[in-house]
């Protein structure tokens, strides 16, 4: 009995896992800097998405081969990666035309997608606190990204950008409910490879000028988007998110939006309006709502389920 309990206990404390998700989400929030810098050099949005995942896919391919016997979990990871990679094209495309803060508030609807997908696909019903926090995030998104502030010609771009939060929400659910049984590096490898495979047809059909930055020094941006915004935070994320559960992962990760605002302000001289400041305050409030709550985690589910 004691041995079983020790085995099923989460490997890291809940509080540490929350901090890990926060740090990883801040790294994810740096994406606009690398993404817009690359598209300004003529790199196509789908190529930017490809570069973000290719570094992890190549470095961790041996890990995936070593875990090939866990093909069911790997298949789920490949599927989630393909959805995330293709959805991310809309995010990068929107960043070409709109401020990072505006695109960010649309992207931050992913907690809603996460809760809905977790409920509909994995029978993981959201708690009242999770629903309340998600509601605050939606209100924040509406305040900061009001259609009145977006030119009519760009509304289709905003709608297309919703593919990114849908893909990320799906990825969170798969990570928590299907990939927690395999090693963290194998999780990252399967998702990254899935993204690369999903984007590969677009890369193979593109012209060379759409794939390469104009200046050789901008190759550092490609390395940065692959390591700083993908491989390193993904490793932290895949270790920590199963410990705190899908709902709290989605809400705590909302710190990504204030990070996007900071990038837009410091790197691209984008003014932060009062509504956007209120939006940040609402999202931080949503994080506070779930801060002290113990959520239903994958480890809890495994402990209570019959052994197979």
238/208: higher pLDDT: 208
pLDDT at 64: 92
Position 104 confidence tier, pLDDT thresholds 50, 70, 90: confident
The answer to whether the CB of 57 falls within 8 A of the CB of 77 is no
pLDDT greater than 60 at residue 17: yes
pLDDT at 75 over 90: yes
Residue 19: Cβ within 10 Å count: 15
Share of the chain above pLDDT 70, in %: 86
Domain ranges in the chain are: 14-295
Total-model pTM: 0.78
- By the 10 Å C-beta count (0-12 exposed, 13-18 middle, 19+ buried), 298 is classed as buried
Q: What letters, b where the CB count within 10 A reaches 16 and e where it falls short, cover 251-284?
A: bbbbbbbbbbbbbbbeeeebebeebbeebbebbe
Q: Render pLDDT for 125-142 as a digit per residue (tens, 0 to 9).
A: 888 888 888 888 888 777
Lowest mean pLDDT among 58-72, 165-179, 275-289: 275-289
| pLDDT band at 209; cut points 50, 70, 90 | confident
Q: Is 305 helix (H, G, I), strand (E, B) or coil?
A: coil
CA–CA separation, 39 vs 213, rounded Å? 8
Nearest to 218 by CA among 95, 37, 56: 37
Instruction: Provide the pLDDT for residue 140.
Output: 79
Residue 207, by phi and psi: left (phi above 0), alpha (psi -120 to 50) or beta?
beta
pLDDT at 160 over 50: yes
The helix/strand/coil state of 135 is helix
Q: Is 99 exposed, middle or buried (0-12, 13-18, 19+ CB in 10 A)?
A: buried
Question: CA-CA distance, 189 to 11, in Å (whole number)?
Answer: 21
| Chain position carrying tokens 């920590």 | 240
Average pLDDT over residues 269-283: 81
The confidence score (pLDDT) of residue 145 equals 66
pLDDT of res. 300: 31
Instruction: Provide the mean pLDDT of the chain.
Output: 82
Which residue did the predictor score with more confidence, 141 or 83?
Answer: 83
Residue-wise pLDDT tens digits, 19-53: 999 999 999 999 999 999 999 888 999 999 999 99
Higher pLDDT, 20 or 146: 20
Half-sphere exposure of 172 (CA within 13 A, CB side): 33
| Residue 128 vs residues 64, 112, 115, 131: alpha-carbon distances, Å | 38, 13, 11, 5
More confident residue, 206 or 167: 167
| Residue-level pLDDT at 10 | 53
- Predicted confidence band at 306 (pLDDT cuts at 50, 70, 90)? very low
């Amino acid at each position: 009995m004691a041995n079983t309990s020790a085995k099923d206990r989460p490997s890291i404390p809940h509080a540490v896992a929350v901090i890990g998700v926060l740090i990883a989400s801040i790294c994810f929030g740096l994406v606009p800097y690398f993404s817009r810098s690359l598209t300004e050099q003529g790199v196509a949005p789908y190529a930017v998405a490809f570069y973000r995942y290719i570094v992890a896919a190549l470095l961790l391919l041996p890990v995936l081969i070593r875990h090939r016997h866990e093909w069911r979990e790997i298949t789920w990871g490949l599927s989630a990666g393909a959805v995330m990679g293709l959805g991310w094209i809309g995010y990068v495309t929107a960043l070409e035309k709109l401020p990072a803060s505006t695109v960010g508030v649309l992207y931050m609807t992913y907690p809603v997608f996460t809760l809905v997908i977790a409920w509909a696909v994995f029978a993981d019903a959201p708690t009242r606190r999770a629903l309340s926090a998600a509601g605050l995030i939606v209100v924040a998104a509406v305040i900061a990204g009001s259609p009145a502030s977006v030119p009519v010609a760009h509304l289709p771009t905003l709608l297309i950008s919703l593919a990114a939060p849908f893909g990320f929400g799906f990825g969170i659910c798969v990570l928590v409910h299907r990939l927690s049984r395999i090693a963290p590096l194998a999780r990252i490898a399967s998702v990254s490879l899935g993204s690369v495979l999903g984007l590969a047809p677009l890369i193979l059909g593109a012209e060379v000028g759409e794939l390469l930055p104009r200046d050789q020094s901008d190759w550092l941006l490609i390395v940065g988007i692959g390591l700083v915004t993908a491989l390193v935070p993904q490793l932290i994320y895949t270790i920590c998110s199963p410990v705190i559960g899908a709902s709290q992962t989605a809400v705590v990760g909302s710190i990504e939006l204030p990070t996007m605002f900071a990038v837009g302000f410091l790197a691209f001289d984008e003014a932060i309006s009062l509504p956007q400041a209120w939006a940040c305050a609402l999202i931080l409030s949503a994080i506070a709502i779930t801060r002290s709550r113990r959520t239903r985690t994958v480890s809890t589910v495994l402990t209570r389920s019959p052994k197979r």
